[in-house]
Structure 1
């Protein structure tokens, strides 16, 4: 991670909605989890380039609620750096499972998570229909279901 620094955001710091909104559709959706999550920022010399929100689900499970990279840094391995950091944080805190959810229309995201060691483990039917007031489209398709992927951590 040469030229990059990674830090946990202080509780009293301003929430970087501009970054979080790259991966979530509304501020209201973000507000449903952000106050129960640990928020991490990845910075280069001059700016915040990525964000990751991690939320404790149980004593054994940690969930990635949001992971986003600014446009100019995409396809440069930054997402994988964040995934490795999430795994490291989970292991350090003795979690056994790391989970993430994404839209069934998020083909690129699903491939990304699978490439980083996650496997599909479930589907939350009609998640995006029931949790967002307006239809959301991705890849020309309406987002309906959330695909849940898990990564089992080893010691």
Structure 2
């Protein structure tokens, strides 16, 4: 597997939809972001998108792995790549937003992210359709950060 930057115009939208169910939201943040894809035999099996949101501060906008390639360490490799990439770009902090429960929360905390804020009703206000995980509707978003 090789992780490489891909032009925003070639970002694997269908793959990114695994993490963010809104095509509109993905298309809105892509032009101001950098996209990286995990390639396996010439095909993207995972991807992430980062964006500079303030001097020295980047946000991990999305990170996703195709369902058939999950639980193989690809997501962890992508996250480590994102951490290293933005650090090399001069970041002092990397932020990410996620639901208030589920495997994603533990995934980020295992890599050293810490909760810094809660955005109440984020998923209710920002998504037309309800988003469910394990049969529970997502309502609030946790903001996590890793400082360098």
Structure 1 gap segments, 5+ residues each = none
- Aligned residue in 2 for 1:148: 143
Question: Are 2:7 and 1:10 aligned?
Answer: yes
Question: Are 2:112 and 1:117 aligned?
Answer: yes
- Aligned residue in 1 for 2:92: 96
Shift of 1:32: 2.4
Going by fraction, where is helix more abundant, 1 or 2?
Answer: 2
Going by fraction, where is strand more abundant, 1 or 2?
Answer: 2
Q: Does the 8 A contact of 2:34 with 2:50 survive in 1?
A: yes
CA separation in 1, counterparts of 2:17 and 2:57? 24
Count of aligned pairs: 148
CA separation in 2, counterparts of 1:148 and 1:49? 26
Q: 1:59 aligned to 55, 64, 82, which one? A: 55
CA RMSD of aligned residues (A): 1.2
Superposition pairs of residues 66-85 of structure 1, within 5 angstroms: 66-85=62-81
- TM-score normalised over the length of structure 1: 0.90
SS at match of 1:31: helix
Q: 4+ runs of 1 displaced by more than 4 Å?
A: none
Q: 2:46 aligned to 20, 45, 50, which one? A: 50
Shift of 1:147: 0.6
